[in-house]
Amino acid sequence: MADRPKVVLGVAGGIAAYKACELLRRLTESGHEVTVVPTASALHFVGEATWSALSGRPVSTEVWKDVHEVPHVRTGKAADLVVVAPATADLLAKAAHGLADDLLTNTLLTARCPVVFAPAMHTEMWEHPATRENVATLRRRGAIVVEPAVGRLTGVDTGKGRLPDPGEIFEVCRRALARGAGEPDLAGRHVVISAGGTREPLDPVRFLGNRSSGKQGFALARTAVARGARVTLIEANTGLADPAGADVVHVGTALELRDAALKAVADADAVVMAAAVADFRPAAYATGKIKKKDGAEPAPLELVRNPDILAELSAVRPVPGQVVVGFAAETDDVLDNGRAKLRRKGCDLLVVNEVGVDKTFGAAESEAVVLAADGGETVVPYGPKEALADTVWDLVAPRLPRS
Ligand code: CTP
């Protein structure tokens, strides 16, 4: 097939190289033409025969093979997407500094398509200022660097640095390919997203909660990663697996969400409050389980107000020009209530959803109207939550502060 999307799968020398086999399988099975370019050290972990057999194509690591075909230029130029998984600290450093001493690093210099790096390394290496700066440089230039996952590392260590699940990396690749060439519009930006629903504890076994599934917030996180952003996802009680590429902060209550949000927005270009935050919490928390007393009427439940986080974020804006986006769940007079809420909260954009037992909450699809403080109104027809997420970023991107 002539028009299959061409993907270069770069593999650097880390133990996680074996997981790239699964990514390769997914890419080929979904109709991509994949050229695997391992580094010489990657071949210590998974051999040439495996890459060749799984991709159905020859495999080369250095620029001196088939020199007349100029593979170091051709491979990168022809690619629709380059993904490096795993990307070691060494590979990230070379890419950030434009070094080109093998076929993969040459390919990275000649590629003009979206480039995805999926790093995997020990936590100390990931956190070292040298790696942090290299990652920031690559992101600033438009590369998508997915955040490593947290968990068991090689040996007995655990921490941040695991290669994300190959299925998640595949999703990032699929979205980056769909968006095509050109610098991703959120490259070099930090965006903060809250997702899920807060739970306000009454006693050790009970809480006041809501029906939010977190799917919309997760869709916002995934699409922002694919558009090149550094993403902090503040997650409340969703039970969903962490999306690849996002820094995930887990919270339970509205007060915890507020603390996490205020911290995360300190250097953020945009914040999207997709979480359903409880307006009230029980006035008192019983440290022991509340028992019913035979024959007695239940004690009335006393509630106190939670802070309005969205209104606070709209007022604070520690980064000048920071874009603040809210969601409004409404059951009646949807647009009128939405407009009033936009003014009351002081945010730039408000995504207004009509909710009901079968509508929006928990569903994979939704419809919405996005109201802008400057008067704009964007109708998003019924469709996947990812499409709504992309529309939100389409509206956020031109409003971002100058970088
Ligand atoms: N929100 C918030 N803090 C709260 C309550 C809500 O930050 N204490 C945010 C939500 O994350 C959402 C937006 O405000 O982005 C709107 O939430 P919604 O529940 O629709 O609005 P309410 O403020 O609860 O208004 P009302 O009770 O009038 O519907």
**Same domain membership, residue 56 and residue 199:** no
For the chain, what is the domain count?
2
Each residue's pLDDT tens digit, 360-369: 566 777 789 9
What is the rounded CA–CA span in Å between residue 227 and residue 269?
A: 14
Average pLDDT over residues 114-124: 95
In testing the pocket of ligand 1, which one of 277, 347, 350 has its CB within 8 Å of the most ligand atoms? 277
- pLDDT tens, residue by residue, 249-261: 999 999 999 999 9
326 lines ligand 1 (CB under 6 A): yes
Q: Is 253 in the pocket of ligand 1 (CB under 6 A)?
A: no
Q: What is the structure's pLDDT at 356?
A: 65
Instruction: Kindly state if the Cβ of 329 falls inside 6 Å of ligand 1.
Output: yes
Interval 178-186 mean pLDDT:
79
Q: Does any ligand 1 atom lie closer than 6 A to the CB of residue 36?
A: no
Task: Enumerate the active-site residues.
Answer: 210
* 344 Cα–ligand 1 center, Å: 10
Q: How far apart are CA 67 and CA 79, in angstroms?
A: 19
pLDDT digits (tens, 9 = 90+) for 265-289: 999 999 999 999 999 999 999 999 9
**Sign of the Cα pseudo-torsion (245, 249, 252, 253, in order):** negative
Probe target for ligand 1 pocket from 210, 251, 305, 308, with the most ligand atoms within 8 Å of CB: 308
Mean pLDDT of 197-220: 96
- Is 1 among the domain residues? no
Residues 246 and 350 both lie in one domain: yes
Alpha helix (H) ranges present in 61-187?
71-78, 89-97, 103-110, 123-127, 129-140, 166-179
Q: Is residue 104 part of a domain?
A: yes
> Which atom of ligand 1 lies at the shortest distance from residue 350's CA?
15
Domain CATH for 215? 3.40.50.10300
Task: Verify that 259 and 142 share a domain, yes or no.
Answer: no
Average pLDDT across the chain, whole number: 91
Q: How far is the CA of 62 from the centre of ligand 1 (A)?
A: 56
Q: Domain of 44: which CATH number?
A: 3.40.50.1950
Which of 179, 210, 244 is the C-terminal boundary of a domain? 179
pLDDT value of residue 329: 84
Given phi > 0 = left and psi -120 to 50 = alpha, else beta, which region is 191?
Answer: beta
- Quick check: 365 and 215 in contact, CB under 8 A? no
Residues 130 and 206 in one domain: no
156 and 202 both lie in a single domain: no
pLDDT above 90: percentage of residues in the chain? 74
Non-local CB neighbours of 325 within 8 Å, separated by 6+ positions: 270, 271, 272, 273, 347, 348, 349, 350, 351, 392, 396
Of the two residues 24 and 139, the one the predictor is more confident about is 24
Is the residue at 37 inside a domain?
yes
Q: Is 306 part of a structural domain of the chain?
A: yes
Same-domain check for residues 174 and 197: no
Residue 99 included in any domain: yes
Q: Is the same domain home to 144 and 211? A: no
**Judgement on whether residues 88 and 212 belong to the same structural domain of the protein:** no
Residue 340 lies in a domain: yes
What is the SS3 assignment for 170?
helix
Based on the fold, state whether residues 256 and 377 are members of the same structural domain: yes
- 178 pLDDT above the threshold of 60: yes
Residue 385 has pLDDT above 60, yes or no: yes
Please give the average per-residue pLDDT across 50-79, as a whole number: 81
Do residues 169 and 212 share a domain? Answer: no
Select from 179, 213, 239 the last residue of a domain: 179
Give per-residue pLDDT as tens, 60-73.
887 666 655 666 67
Task: Give domain status of residue 258, yes or no.
Answer: yes
CB of residue 257 inside a 6 A radius of ligand 1: no
Q: Which of 179, 198, 230 is the last residue of a domain?
A: 179
Per-residue confidence band for 28, with pLDDT thresholds at 50, 70 and 90: very high
pLDDT at residue 1 greater than cutoff 50 = no
Same domain? For 271 and 164 the reply is: no
Cα 258 to its chain centre, rounded Å, is 20
Structural domain span for residue 233: 190-399
Q: Specify whether 212 is located in the same domain as 351.
A: yes
Residue 184 placed within a domain: no
pLDDT, mean of residues 234-246: 93
